[in-house]
Amino acid sequence: MPGIAIVGTQWGDEGKGKITDLLAEDASAIVRFQGGNNAGHTIVRDGEVYKFHLIPSGILHEDKYCVIGNGVVIDPRVLLEEIDGLRRAGISTANLKISANAHLIMPYHVLLDTADELKLGKLSIGTTRRGIGPAYADKALRLGIRVQDLLDEKILRKKIMAALESKQQGLRELAVRRRKLKKDGETDDETVPDDRIDLHSITEDYLSYGHRLEPFITDTARLCWNELDSGRKVIFEGAQAALLDLDHGTYPFVTSSNPIAGAACIGAGVGPTDIQEVWGVVKAYATRVGSGPFPTELDDEVGAHMSEKGHEFGTTTGRPRRCGWLDLVALRYTVRLNGTSYLAMTKLDVLSGLETIKVAVRYRSREGAVLDEFPYHQSVLHSVTPEYEELPGFAGDITACRTPEDLPQEALDYIAFVSDFVGVPIRLVGVGPGHDENVWIQKQG
Ligand code: IMP
């Protein structure tokens, strides 16, 4: 049985959680390989809505390993809250496994992540303020604290001290700026955190998190090898998406990890030959949270239709998502980047009721040049105008459709157009948020 990667092909929020939940039915393990609690997965099961940030979507399958891989950055306080929430809901966490090599988000990472919003830096990325960037930066600087460090008080204290040393100046500047904003009444934002950093209390807090997390800590790479080598199916679940990839996305308006399929190897500890299938998840239109270029963004009633009907508000921050038409120039790029085998298209029902549906098929540069491919130069992308193909829309409630024959012809034509353009079959189409609200274009083999 294969390793399967499930990744986002746009700017995140494509509905990967639901697809993972579906494809995990015959898998033995579901592994998160990057990101942290900047992500948000919503799964609707038997009318219950579950929201996860760190725990892989597979947790609702109690017979499967649910793994947080080494490539994830973990805020242990948030993870323990999720574990407690699951226990309260009567969902077992017995099969949750956490990599000893995963890095931890520390309170000073969260503080430093607000520097951007407090206009201390030059650029406002519009991060989720969960400390993701600073945690990955410490990992690269070799100043990170890992899950395994929670199990050794002496090492933990020493490492926190070393990590804090280089941050004192930045934290002091942040505190001054924060006090000024508060004094000027420019913020009453509760998420602007306290600036006191106390080595002793952080160490004590993290040791107590360590005690609670210890039963879950595992050699997760070995767990993946055992499953794969025994012929069982392992799903590698990405968070965010290709256009937010640190190397291949719209840098610097990206996240600080690599959400593309290739990164599953690094973030889980498996080899490229362990992954036989890549599923790209694409929303039937496009959304983006935070700053950065978005050529097909709509600021009109169609964008409002998508936002309202699609409930386009961030699972993690509640921020309204920017909405726009599906961008096939970008999709063809990310489909190739991920080595995508199949696409799953989500939220097709949201487009119902629109007279026509547009898809961007090329860009025009400010100088008038036609661009068929996603431009490698960021400044070009910032100033392109998309050119559209206009397809007939469809109407009516499609949430009850379960086979291709149930769908309006115009919806089928839309699916076929997208699939032909990017050169990858669309195998699954979501027609509603529920677990069963899908149309298989071609049943899994
Ligand atoms: P960070 O990951 O919090 O550092 O944020 C960097 C950028 O990625 C911001 O534009 C965020 O809005 C965006 N981002 C991070 N996680 C997600 C996600 O799960 N969905 C959509 N956008 C995200």
**CB of 287 shorter than 6 A to ligand 1:** no
The verdict on residue 69 lying in a domain is: yes
Domain end residue (candidates: 215, 231, 264)? 215
Question: Ligand 1 centre from 285 Cα, in Å?
Answer: 18
The verdict on residue 445 lying in a domain is: no
If you take atom 2 of ligand 1, which residue's CA is the nearest one? 255
Name the residue of 54, 72, 110, 255 to mutate for ligand 1: max ligand atoms within 8 A of Cβ.
255
Same domain, 79 and 124: no
pLDDT of amino acid 445: 44
Same domain, 338 and 435: yes
The verdict on residue 398 lying in a domain is: yes
**CB of 133 shorter than 6 A to ligand 1:** yes
Question: Ligand 1 centre from 369 Cα, in Å?
Answer: 31
DSSP output for 212-236:
HHGGGEE-HHHHHHHHHHTT--EEE
Same domain, 112 and 195: yes
Same domain, 268 and 367: yes
**CB of 286 shorter than 6 A to ligand 1:** no
Distance (Å, whole) CA 46 – CA 48? 6
Q: What's this model's pTM, rounded to 2 decimal places?
A: 0.94
If you take atom 21 of ligand 1, which residue's CA is the nearest one? 12
**CB of 110 shorter than 6 A to ligand 1:** no
With a CB cutoff of 8 Å and minimum separation 6, the contacts of 112 are: 131, 134, 167, 170, 171, 174
**CB of 256 shorter than 6 A to ligand 1:** yes
Question: Ligand 1 centre from 373 Cα, in Å?
Answer: 24
Same domain, 211 and 223: no
Same domain, 303 and 195: no
**CB of 131 shorter than 6 A to ligand 1:** no
Structure tokens at 76: 């242990």
Domain end residue (candidates: 215, 230, 265)? 215
Name the residue of 38, 116, 245 to mutate for ligand 1: max ligand atoms within 8 A of Cβ.
38
Question: Ligand 1 centre from 127 Cα, in Å?
Answer: 6
Question: Ligand 1 centre from 26 Cα, in Å?
Answer: 30
**CB of 126 shorter than 6 A to ligand 1:** yes
Taking only the tens of pLDDT, the chain with its 445 residues reads 589 999 999 999 999 989 998 999 999 999 999 999 999 887 777 777 888 899 998 888 889 999 999 999 999 999 999 999 999 888 999 999 999 999 999 999 998 888 766 655 556 888 999 999 999 999 999 999 999 999 999 999 999 999 999 888 888 887 787 777 777 776 655 555 555 678 899 999 999 999 999 999 999 999 999 999 999 999 999 999 999 999 999 999 999 999 999 999 999 999 999 999 999 999 999 999 989 999 999 999 999 999 999 999 987 778 899 999 999 999 999 999 999 999 999 999 999 999 999 999 999 999 999 999 999 998 999 999 999 999 999 999 999 999 999 999 999 999 999 999 999 999 999 999 988 999 999 754 4
Q: At which residue do the structure tokens 């694409």 appear?
A: 282
What's the half-sphere exposure (Cβ side, CA atoms, 13 Å) at 241?
Answer: 28
Same domain, 134 and 188: yes
13 is catalytic: yes
Q: Give the sign of the dihedral formed by CA 359, CA 365, CA 366, CA 367.
A: negative
Name the residue of 14, 110, 111, 244 to mutate for ligand 1: max ligand atoms within 8 A of Cβ.
244
Same domain, 226 and 211: no
Q: At which residue do the structure tokens 């661009």 appear?
A: 371
pLDDT of amino acid 173: 80
Same domain, 89 and 117: no
**CB of 144 shorter than 6 A to ligand 1:** no
If you take atom 9 of ligand 1, which residue's CA is the nearest one? 127
pLDDT of amino acid 176: 80
Beta strands in 191-274 (DSSP E): 217-218, 234-237
152 is catalytic: no
* Number of domains comprising the chain: 2
Distance (Å, whole) CA 10 – CA 340? 13
Query: How far is Cα of residue 440 from the mean position of the Cα atoms in its chain?
Result: 24
Which ligand 1 atom lies nearest to the CA of residue 39?
19
Q: What is the CATH number of the domain that holds 205?
A: 1.10.300.10
Same domain, 223 and 175: no
The verdict on residue 35 lying in a domain is: yes
Q: What is the CATH number of the domain that holds 404?
A: 3.90.170.10
Same domain, 83 and 110: no
Same domain, 141 and 8: no
Question: Ligand 1 centre from 1 Cα, in Å?
Answer: 33
pLDDT of amino acid 118: 62
**CB of 134 shorter than 6 A to ligand 1:** no
**CB of 250 shorter than 6 A to ligand 1:** no
Question: Ligand 1 centre from 130 Cα, in Å?
Answer: 10
Distance (Å, whole) CA 64 – CA 25? 9
Domain end residue (candidates: 215, 232, 264)? 215
Is the omega angle on the peptide bond into residue 259 within 30 degrees of 0, that is, cis?
no
pLDDT of amino acid 237: 96
Structural domain for 151, as ranges: 103-215
